[in-house]
Structure 1
């Protein structure tokens, strides 16, 4: 399905827009995640050691969004034999990829923009090859398209940087 100019412009806005920030984990949520992973064997803590351990994890993984920490807990419970160290947690978190509606919308818009731009480029090259493009259309083409048209021998590039069609409708007869 081809996009109209308005649809393409709207898709380009969505594709270029920054993603909304995810909800960050607060101390309570982080504590819940750490308690979930307490099912894994680890060295016992005394009261001071437990507070220090919690603070160390808070410093290292407390800056991640809630969804990332949920991923961490799930992966740790499925794949770790022991309670993961802070560096192991960071390695697990490196595998997390954001996959919410905003990311999917941005990806869909980016894909639609790429496909439409490629289709328009292909149409322009087909029309150039057939000699069906006016000088005004050539002048309005992006520079990259004109350069490709020249490389494919559809256009001549002049010393002043302008381009004209090599193939003209009257030459096709």
Structure 2
């Protein structure tokens, strides 16, 4: 479980960021969309403006931008439109998938352990050592479910289970 949680919490490896050449190539692909004509100076300024607005992004994000713009834009997108498109991009490489799977496995394992602990408390089979070793949150849940009592010293003890009404009537 510790190894799985370590994978889930580990920082993701950095993606390759686009360089000026890659961005220029992507902008040329967007040239298939209609836009205002530029002179030489205007074209250079436009490329520089796009570099400032979207240049420091991973290559995969820029590729997503180009694909989305070609699919959905009727005109060459402005820098602000490009930024809005990039907000929809989600990283989904193998490292992200592995991290998500590890996080899911960790959550499921924690939930299974929690449910097992609550079952043991409900059946009265949990020892005091088990109770003391439980995370504080689990103890509070056990108290809320009337399975544990909280002592004045702050520790928790198993709440005595009452027998059935018939057993009590016999005694």
State the TM-score, normalizing by the size of structure 1.
0.92
| Aligned residue number for residue 3 of structure 1 | none
Which stretches in structure 1 are left out of the alignment for 5+ residues?
1-7
Q: Deviations over 1:128-157 (max 9, x none)?
A: 000010111011000110111111111111
**2:142 is the counterpart of 1:141:** no
**2:8 is the counterpart of 1:15:** yes
Which stretches in structure 2 are left out of the alignment for 5+ residues?
none
Of 79, 87, 95 in structure 2, the residue corresponding to residue 94 of structure 1 is: 87
Of 150, 153, 162 in structure 1, the residue corresponding to residue 146 of structure 2 is: 153
**Contact 1:25 1:64 (C-alpha < 8 Å) held by counterparts:** yes
> How many pairs were matched up?
165
| Distance (Å, rounded) in 1 between the aligned partners of 2:76 and 2:160 | 71
Of 157, 166, 169 in structure 1, the residue corresponding to residue 159 of structure 2 is: 166
**2:110 is the counterpart of 1:117:** yes
**Contact 1:129 1:167 (C-alpha < 8 Å) held by counterparts:** no
Q: CA-atom RMSD, angstroms? A: 1.5
| Distance (Å, rounded) in 2 between the aligned partners of 1:156 and 1:58 | 62
State the TM-score, normalizing by the size of structure 2.
0.93
When Rg is computed on C-alpha atoms for both structures, the one with the higher figure is 2
SS in 2 for 1:164: strand
Q: Deviations over 1:3-33 (max 9, x none)?
A: xxxxx11110001101111100001100110
| Aligned residue number for residue 36 of structure 1 | 29
| Distance (Å, rounded) in 2 between the aligned partners of 1:28 and 1:47 | 18
Q: Deviations over 1:100-123 (max 9, x none)?
A: 001101111111111110110000
| Aligned residue number for residue 45 of structure 2 | 52
SS in 2 for 1:156: strand
| Aligned residue number for residue 85 of structure 1 | 78
| Distance (Å, rounded) in 2 between the aligned partners of 1:171 and 1:64 | 65
